[in-house]
């Protein structure tokens, strides 16, 4: 029976150690180290990053597998920035995080390809800037670099565009199931295919991202997982819907994989 490893994104805050314990007790096997919590508040973000070593130590001691580190986003982390100085600064900040995390051996790093809004006139330029950043970052780590498909006007907002980007930069995709606003995620899985290296799992209404628990929105979960099976995906089924308890999230995982009608 097809069954993926259960993972969960946990925000890096001052309760990180306790959150890791709760996730493991609920049944999760893997964790994404979410560094995006304070993307709106640069001072708090800088303060948090001073504690990165303690967070990594807690993760290492948790018994959970380190699936991925989710790099922050926003104006200080825009890898597609048209301003070359700002783009390079974003890359340098990220390389420092790679250096910190390396000893704990994450499978991948997850990045947003751009901040938003993206004006149509600048789209081509920003994609070129992003490709330069991805190639630089790929050379800075042995772990996989994964670009997340994003909603609205962001770079990588369709399966076609995300595929073009990852193929050109020779990187991978983090499939976020609730970010597809121009196609159904079930269909996007087949288009992106073996470029998918990891996932962010949540449900939505096909209108905007919601980060709901599975079965609260419109995704056909049986079809989505069936298509993951078709493309040979064997990575982590990683929940990114943090407003629900770990037990609720793990119950949703069990419901999805317990109700599958295929092998």
How long a stretch of residues is the chain?
Answer: 263
- pLDDT at 63 (0 to 100): 97
Q: Give the integer Cα–Cα distance in Å for 133 and 95.
A: 11
pLDDT-derived band at 1, boundaries 50, 70, 90: confident
Distance in angstroms (rounded) separating the CA atoms of residues 184 and 177: 9
- 230-244 residue pLDDT tens: 999 999 999 999 999
Find out whether 148 and 156 touch, Cβ atoms under 8 Å.
yes
Which string of b and e fits 125-139 if b means at least 16 CB within 10 Å? ebbebbbbbbebbee
Q: Is residue 57 part of a domain?
A: yes
Mean pLDDT of the chain: 96
- Tally of domains within the chain: 1
CATH code of residue 192: 3.20.20.150
Angle subtended at Cα 122 by Cα 121 and Cα 127, rounded to the nearest 5 degrees: 135
Range of 40's domain?
5-258
Examine residue 180 and state whether it is found in any structural domain, yes or no.
yes
Whether 205 contacts 243, CB under 8 Å: no
Asked, for residue 263, whether it belongs to a domain, the answer is no
- By the 8 A CB rule, do 229 and 186 touch? no
What tens digit of pLDDT does each residue of 111-164 get? Answer: 999 999 999 999 999 999 999 999 999 999 999 999 999 999 999 999 999 999
**Residue 112 included in any domain:** yes
Residue 78 clears pLDDT 60, i.e. is over it:
yes
Q: In the predicted model, what is the mean pLDDT of residues 39-65?
A: 95
Helix axes 52-61, 84-101, angle to 10 degrees: 40
Nearest to 45 by CA among 97, 85, 80, 101: 97
**Does residue 77 fall inside a structural domain?**
yes
Residue 260 scores a pLDDT above 80:
no
Contact call for residues 172 and 196 (beta carbons, < 8 A): yes
Whole-prediction pTM? 0.96
DSSP 233-255: --SEEEE--TTS-HHHHHHHHHH
């Amino acid at each position: 029976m097809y069954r993926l490893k259960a993972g969960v994104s946990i925000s890096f805050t001052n309760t990180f150690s306790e959150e890791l314990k709760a996730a493991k007790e609920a049944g999760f096997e893997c964790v994404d180290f979410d560094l995006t919590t304070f993307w709106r508040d640069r001072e708090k973000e800088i303060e948090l990053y001073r504690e990165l070593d303690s967070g990594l130590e807690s993760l290492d001691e948790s018994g959970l597998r380190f699936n991925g580190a989710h790099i922050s986003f926003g104006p200080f982390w825009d890898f597609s920035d048209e301003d070359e100085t700002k783009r390079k600064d974003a890359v340098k900040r990220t390389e420092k995080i790679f250096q910190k995390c390396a000893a704990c051996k994450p499978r991948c790093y997850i990045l947003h390809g751009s901040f938003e809004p993206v004006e149509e006139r600048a789209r081509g330029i920003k994609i070129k800037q992003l490709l330069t950043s991805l190639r630089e970052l790929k050379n800075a780590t042995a772990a996989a670099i994964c670009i997340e498909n994003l909603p609205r006007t962001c770079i990588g907002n369709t399966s076609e565009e995300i595929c073009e980007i990852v193929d050109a930069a020779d990187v991978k995709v983090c499939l976020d199931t609730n970010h597809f606003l121009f196609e159904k995620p079930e269909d996007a899985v087949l288009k992106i295919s073996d470029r998918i290296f990891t996932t962010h799992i949540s449900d939505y209404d096909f209108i905007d991202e919601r980060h709901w628990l599975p079965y609260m929105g419109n995704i056909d979960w049986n079809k989505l997982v069936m298509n993951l099976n078709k493309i040979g995906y064997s990575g982590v089924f990683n929940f990114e819907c943090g407003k629900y308890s770990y037990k609720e999230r793990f119950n949703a995982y069990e419901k999805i994989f317990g109700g599958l009608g295929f092998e």
